[in-house]
Amino acid sequence: MANEWTNSASFYSASSDSALPDGMPESLDGVVDQVFAALSTSRENFAPQLLLREVGTVTSVLTGIATVDGLPNVGYEELLKFPGNVYGIAFNIDESEIGVILLGDYWHLKAGDRVERTGRVMDVAVGDYLLGRVIDPLGRALDDKEIEHTNERMPIERPAAAIMDRSPVTVPLQTGLKVIDALIPIGRGQRELILGDRQTGKSTIAIDTIISQRGQNVVCIYCAIGQRASTVGRNIAIMREKGAMDYTVVVVTEGDAPPGLAYIAPYAATSIAEYFMNAGRDVLIVYDDLTQHARSYRELSLLLRRPPGREAFPGDIFYIHSRLLERATRMCPEFGGGSLTALPIIETEAQDIAAYIPTNLISITDGQIYLSPTLFELGMLPAVDVGKSVSRVGGKAQLPAYRAVASDLKLAYAQFEELETFARFGASLDASTRKIIEHGQRIRSCLKQPEFSPLSVAEQITVLLALIAGLFDAIAIARMTEAQKIVQESAAKIPADVIDRLLHAKSLSTEDRAAIVQIARQALADFKS
């Protein structure tokens, strides 16, 4: 055995003399010596570094919040890390404790758990890859698909654009709804409030508007705050069926989610929208709805022992909504020329639009669309109360073709609503009054529209011009829906150059108006015959 080892060693030594590279030891002992020499050198050169970290301790956990002891240098709204990969936002910073809004499943947290600072504020991943996805405010996927990893993130709280960086609202945002596009127009960069009682069709108008953006190069963000999972799932299914998910991002917090997620949801959704706006694109964001957002913030504030104000809401409830909606704007061309249009939704109780939250948001936004329960019960869908609805800046962005008919339509409809009230008392009416009422009934019938069926500009203008011209006056009320459909279909016969002028001309010419009315008249003649 010894001879074999000697022979092997001799052979290795002999072969290594010619094969080993420069600097390599010639024997096993040399290898060992070299390794130990390297270890000794590393040990002598090692200088331990002391890393300072602030660590706090959970003192109590309540529904959606936690109080933390320690962390003397924590900043306001700094992101804190709890066990189980749960994060929270430092919201109350007192001398003795910190009130934290929890953003995840907090049920496993308990007093004594360790809390660490992150040194950053809450942010959200942004990018084109989010189009067509359903996520929560933390950026986690809710649609059973993997989320691409990205290093591009934006804080959820960002200052609104400076006044001098903004441009006036001059470009319309078509909703596909005749009653809105004609009478309560919305411009790109506008903030238009949608309010009404429960189950009056507020979300339907928002979804219709999203569907109407197909082919309009508008990115849509649908932010569902505290909604039932079944309702959100239905809306997503409709948008997917209509092909709207291709350009839409859905941010969801369900009703049973922690209130902290409902609180940050609209801010996270707005940061995602601002990513596209900063890239020079037009963006539409829907907050469905801010009533739930206000209630979640009230719950958190009361748990954090903040003093309550009117209707138990904290005193800064106006501020949290104003700093959110002020981020909606249209940017100057020097800053990309993108726009962010906001459609916040508010739920009223017993038609009380003078309540605290509705009045706050009416004062912040550029107009409101009010949905009447009375009109809803009468089958007038969408149940828009034209008298109580207004668009303060959208008229400047409205297409000239709509402006040509809007004033006459508004006046006739207002006269009808006033006379209709007197007619209910059974008073005898003269022929002119009856004619106004009958024409108003046809206006109301023409303003009806099935849900999730937005109309093109040409279809809307054809119906409205036919209405103003009195072409429907000879049609029985019972057949108005059928007649209106015939006129809508006749819009396909409008020449392409006329349609182009409807979209881009500075005014509706007499010739184009007469041509469209003639097409509608011929369609109704065939319908009557």
Instruction: Note whether 167 and 332 are within 8 A (CB).
Output: yes
CB 245 within 8 A of CB 122: no
Q: Concatenated DSSP letters for 282-335?
A: EEEEEEETHHHHHHHHHHHHHHTTPPB-GGG-BTTHHHHHHHHHTT--BB-GGG
Residue 250: burial class (beta carbons within 10 Å; 0-12, 13-18, 19+): buried
Distance CA 65, CA 57 (A): 14
Distance of CA 26 to the CA centre of its chain: 72
User: Do 109 and 63 touch, CB atoms closer than 8 A?
Assistant: no
Residues 6+ away with beta carbon under 8 Å from 492 = none
Listing from the earlier edge strand, what are the strands of the sheet with 134-135?
Answer: 134-135, 248-254, 218-227, 282-288, 339-347, 193-196, 367-371, 390-391
Annotated catalytic residue, options 158, 306, 392, 403 = 392
Q: What is the dihedral of CA 380, 443, 398, 454, to 10 degrees?
A: 50
Q: How many other C-beta atoms can be found within 10 angstroms of the C-beta atom of residue 464?
A: 27
Residue 340, both tokens:
């962010």
Three-state DSSP class for 160? coil
| DSSP strand pairing (86-93 vs 78-82) | antiparallel
Please, are residues 60 and 68 in contact by the beta-carbon 8 Å criterion?
no
What is the SS3 assignment for 135?
strand
Question: φ and ψ at 186, to 5 degrees?
Answer: -120, 135
The sign of the dihedral angle between the CA atoms of 153, 159, 160, 163 is: negative
| DSSP 8-class letter at 212 | H
State the DSSP code for 111. T
Determine contact, residues 375/445, Cβ cutoff 8 Å.
no
Q: Half-sphere exposure (CA, 13 Å, Cβ side) for 32?
A: 3
Residue 392 gets the label, from left (phi > 0), alpha (psi -120 to 50) or beta, of alpha
- Locus of tokens 């706050």: 360
As a whole number of angstroms, the distance between CA 66 and CA 54 comes to 17
Active site residue 392: yes
| Alpha-carbon span 233 to 395, nearest angstrom | 34
Active site (catalytic) residues: 392
